[in-house]
């Protein structure tokens, strides 16, 4: 087994390293944009040909939802063209790909958790680019596995938990939206799930949904961050999304149904608040 982790300094990339070095130490090469720019067709082709990986886990992406609306070309380069480059290179070497996608491929008008077969209809540039990445990958490397996740956080990088913790330090009253509902997901739990797929005896191509268990609004998520980090006194008001103007539209409801991945790969989907508590314990200086 020889694995490539791309985007190794992102939230998921860093957790993939934690998990893989515990369960299959020394089997993995980790690349960031400096070592391997995925938008460079030739570089990707040469790198993958040289190493003959058994698996690639693509943790690289353009993830700034707001800026994506203005940086459409860059977002497409990373979320679509780079995925094509990986798919082309991997299909020559018979390398299996695990690619990561998002709940933002859905429009959020459902009233029950989204299954893998449900109709997609992205409402943002980021969501559109992630969907185009999915379809390009399926066309070029149909044996791939796509794991859609949502509301990712970790001790590293940019995420809602760290945004809330830094706002808490400013001692100003906060307002957070209550009418966008999903499932906060700990990047470490996702990394465990992906590692299980990569090391499993069976490889079942297709799309899988992975999130933690349970349901929350961003407001619920913020309240839990403050309660579990000893910042329970921070004042947070619930507001409708209409009162929090943003450039990009976000789905009102994007809970994902995770039965398929649990049934196929026996992965754990811990309750979101339990995982949040675990993550907060790893973040020093939370008060």
Ligand X SMILES: Cc1cn([C@H]2C[C@H](O)[C@@H](COP(=O)(O)OP(=O)(O)O[C@H]3O[C@@H](C)C(=O)[C@@H](O)[C@H]3O)O2)c(=O)[nH]c1=O
- 11 part of the interface to ligand NDP, by CB under 6 A: yes
Active-site annotation holds for 126: yes
CA distances to 9, 60, 137 from 114, rounded to whole Å, are 30, 24, 21
Residue-wise DSSP of 156-214: SSS-HHHHHHHHHTTT--EEEESS-EE--EEHHHHHHHHHHHHHSS----EEEE---BS
At 253 the three-state DSSP class reads: strand
Point out which span in 134-142, 150-158, 194-202, 270-278 binds ligand X (CB under 6 A). 150-158
Binding residue (CB under 6 A) for ligand NDP from 151, 208, 210, 221:
151
Long-range contacts, 241-248 (Cβ 8 Å, 24+): 241/177, 241/179, 241/180, 243/175, 243/177, 244/175, 244/176, 244/177, 246/66, 247/66, 247/69, 247/70, 248/65, 248/66, 248/68, 248/69, 248/124, 248/125, 248/126
Return the structure tokens found at 120. Answer: 């997609």
Binding status of residue 244 toward ligand X by CB under 6 A: yes
The 64-83 site mask, x for binding Mg ion (CB under 5 A), equals -x------------------
Contacted by 100, from Mg ion, ligand NDP, ligand X, none: CB < 5 to 8 Å by type: ligand NDP
What three-state secondary structure class fits 19?
Answer: helix
Given a contact cutoff of 8 angstroms between Cβ atoms, the answer to whether 73 and 20 are in contact is no
Work out whether 58 is an interface residue with ligand X (CB under 6 A). Answer: no
Window of 55-63, 83-91, 165-173, 261-269 that interacts with ligand NDP by CB under 6 A:
55-63
Report residue 199 CA to chain centroid gap.
20
Q: How far is the CB of 236 from ligand X (least distance, A)?
A: 9
Is the CB of 86 or the CB of 105 nearer to ligand X?
A: 105
Q: Which of 104, 126, 208, 265 is catalytic?
A: 126
CB of 13 to ligand NDP, least distance (A): 6
| Interface pick for ligand NDP out of 39, 88, 93, 264 (rule CB under 6 A) | 39
Does 62 bind ligand X (CB under 6 A)? Our answer is: no
Taking the C-alpha atoms of residue 27 and residue 281, their distance in angstroms, rounded to an integer, is: 29
Site size with ligand X, rule: CB under 6 A: 20
Contact 110, 69 (CB under 8 A): no
Write out the residues near Mg ion by the rule CB under 5 A: 65
Write out the residues near ligand NDP by the rule CB under 6 A: 6-7, 9-12, 32-33, 37-39, 59-61, 63, 78, 82, 100, 102, 130, 149-152, 157
Write out the residues near ligand X by the rule CB under 6 A: 63, 65, 102-104, 150-152, 160, 163, 174-177, 180, 218, 241, 244, 246, 250
List the catalytic residues.
126
């Amino acid at each position: 087994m020889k694995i490539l982790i791309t985007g190794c300094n992102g939230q998921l990339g860093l957790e993939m390293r934690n998990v893989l070095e515990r369960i299959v130490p020394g089997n993995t090469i980790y690349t960031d944009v400096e070592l391997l720019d995925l938008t460079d067709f030739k570089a990707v082709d040469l790198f993958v040909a040289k190493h003959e990986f058994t698996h690639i886990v693509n943790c690289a992406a353009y993830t700034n939802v707001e800026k994506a609306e203005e940086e459409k070309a860059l977002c497409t380069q990373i979320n679509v063209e780079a995925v094509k480059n990986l798919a082309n290179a991997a299909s020559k070497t018979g390398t299996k790909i695990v690619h990561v996608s998002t709940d933002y491929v859905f429009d959020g008008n459902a009233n029950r958790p989204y299954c893998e077969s449900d109709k997609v209809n992205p409402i943002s540039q980021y969501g559109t680019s992630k969907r185009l990445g999915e379809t390009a990958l399926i066309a070029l490397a149909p044996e791939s596995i796509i794991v859609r996740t949502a509301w990712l956080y970790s001790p590293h990088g940019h995420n809602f938990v760290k945004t809330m913790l830094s706002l808490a330090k400013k001692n100003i009253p906060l307002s957070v939206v209550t009418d966008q509902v999903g499932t906060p997901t700990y990047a470490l739990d996702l990394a465990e799930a992906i590692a299980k797929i990569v090391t499993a005896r069976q490889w079942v191509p297709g799309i899988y949904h992975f999130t933690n268990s349970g349901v929350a609004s961003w407001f619920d998520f913020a309240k839990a961050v403050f309660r579990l980090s000893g910042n329970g006194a921070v004042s947070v008001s619930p507001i409708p999304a209409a009162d929090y103007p943003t450039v990009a539209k976000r789905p009102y409801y994007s809970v994902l149904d995770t039965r398929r991945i649990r049934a196929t790969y026996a992965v754990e989907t811990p309750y979101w608040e339990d995982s949040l508590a675990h993550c907060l314990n790893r973040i020093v200086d939370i008060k």
